[in-house]
Amino acid sequence: MRMHGKVAVVTGAARGIGRAIVERYAREGAVCAVADINEQAAADTAEALLFFTLQAAARHMVERGRGGKIINLASEAGQRADAHVIAYSATKAAVISITKTAALALIPHGINVNAISPGVVDTPMWEEVDRLFGKWTGKAVGQTRHEVELQVPFGRFGKPEDLAGAAVFLATEDSGYMIGQTVNVDGGRVMK
């Protein structure tokens, strides 16, 4: 119950990583607001709304004057190059940059801003990723997934639940002295 009495707003929370984080926050005693956009065509807009959600939440938190935590969801794609997902990689790199900038701006108000950077995570989205990469590269369905999994030093794709512990850590006072950091939860993939 390390988050008893806390309120968490989690976007992208209907499935995958977001859902795992909401489930863990709830088990830790937090009251969670669950938000999700489930339309593929709105994905780029949803990425831009990470930024506007941060601004709105920060404004409210500053007005309350009680500090708090903001946790952004980045990606290994923001730290690695991949010619097939230029826009996604650029967007996730922007999340990492926004995290650092917001951290400096908000720490005088007692608000810690950090990010989690997942690697490849076994969610329903990976079926679509595998299909698209196959289309672009001519590989059979499943081949891209297999090749990517071989690149994970831990030996497997992450599970949504693998991200929940880092989310709890960043939401509690255990990470009270951390600001502007991006925590890689990627089985070592970003190092490879």
111/51 Cα distance (integer angstroms): 16
Contacts 24+ apart (CB under 8 A), 80-88: 80/190, 84/132, 84/133, 84/136, 84/137, 87/44
What is the maximum alpha-carbon separation in the chain?
55
Catalytic residue among 35, 36, 53, 88: 88
Task: Check: CB of residue 166 under 8 Å from CB of residue 175.
Answer: no
Active site residue 177: no
DSSP 8-state symbol, 93: H
List, by residue number, the catalytic residues: 88
